[in-house]
Amino acid sequence: MGGYFRLFADWNPAPTTAPTLLVRADEPLAAWSAGDNWRSTYRHPHTVVDTAGDHFSMMEEHAVSTASAVETWIAAEIAQ
């Protein structure tokens, strides 16, 4: 995690015309209380999909439903 913090510390993404998907966990990590502002955000235009699990379990035990959510979004984008 320290490497990611250093890598992205001063990075500010530029706007893009490409469709952008923000996939977020629908459960906070145990260290966060439900009332805290724990959800990821993105300042540029995008679509948000909340998936089952927390930051880690959405990519582990809930990987199938997370992948399905991404595939559904891609299919909808292609159909437009």
Could you give the number of structural domains in the chain? 1
Closest CA to 22 of 30, 13, 31: 13
The pLDDT confidence band at residue 76, using thresholds 50, 70 and 90, is very high
Amino acid at 64: V
36 backbone dihedrals φ, ψ, rounded to 5°: -75, 155
**Residue 6 predicted with pLDDT over 80:** yes
> pLDDT, tens digit, for every residue of 8-42?
888 888 999 999 999 999 999 887 766 668 888 88
Query: Would 70 be classed as within a structural domain?
Result: yes
> pLDDT, tens digit, for every residue of 35-64?
668 888 889 999 999 999 998 999 999 999
pLDDT at 50: 95
Query: Would 43 be classed as within a structural domain?
Result: yes
User: Containing domain of residue 58, as a range?
Assistant: 17-79
Q: What is the pTM of this model?
A: 0.81
